[in-house]
Copies of this chain bind each other. A is one copy, B any other.
Amino acid sequence: MASAEIIPAPEAATRKGEMQRQRILEASAGQFLRQGYAAASVRDIADAAGIGTSTLYHYFASKEDLLVAVHEAGLASIRAALLAAIEGVEEPWARLEAACVAHLQALLEGGLIFQAVMRELPSVFDADALDRIRATRDNYERIFQRLLDDLALPRGTDRHELRLMLLGSLNWAFTWYRPGRSTPEELARTFVGFLRQGLDLGGDTP
């Protein structure tokens, strides 16, 4: 016994298995993050979770299943954090900015599961797994699509490409970001500001 309960459980009495499942998810996210999916071994993940390899298969059917689970859990959490961040914000550009801040904070400073989500994709696992991941991802990015739609932009502005540019610049940040300089929040505001400077033509603000 004497297992360290680092994670503050929201509910009191969840079945033990559920907590372990979360533990494994966290451990595999950490390994995927540090080594990538292909290079991370099931044994490493099990060790990081403090269990045997065979026990891991009691919770997840395969390594691939583990990846899908990490993606789904991570994107669900990011989605929730993002929706909470833009709640109550009315002005369209401010809403977009708040969303970008939340997105980048999750990507750069969020939990392991958060961070692991945005860095996999290229590998060609099973077609089913990839479809499930992509579906979850598309669903998430649709939030940004709606935020862009609410913006008052110059005639002829391609909102689709604008969204791809903005999200791309944010998503790539993990390749160069190092703590200590600008914070994720500052970076997100700066990036949105660059675009807003030339595209904003609505509302107030002197």
Q: Which residues of A contact B (CB under 8 A)?
A: 34-39, 119, 121-124, 154, 158, 161-162, 164-173, 175-176, 182, 187, 190-191, 194-199
> B182 and A123: CB pair below 8 A?
no
Q: Given known contacts A121-B175, A169-B169, A196-B198, is B158 in contact with A190 (CB within 8 Å)?
A: yes
Copies in the assembly, this chain: 2
A121 to B119, CA, bound (A): 11
Whole-angstrom distance between the Cβ of A154 and the nearest chain B Cβ: 8
> B119 and A122: CB pair below 8 A?
yes
CB-defined A-B contacts under 8 Å, sample of 29: A34-B124, A35-B38, A35-B124, A36-B36, A36-B37, A36-B122, A36-B123, A121-B175, A122-B175, A154-B197, A161-B182, A161-B187, A161-B191, A162-B194, A164-B173, A165-B169, A165-B191, A166-B169, A167-B172, A168-B171, A168-B173, A169-B169, A171-B172, A171-B175, A172-B172, A194-B199, A197-B197, A198-B198, A198-B199
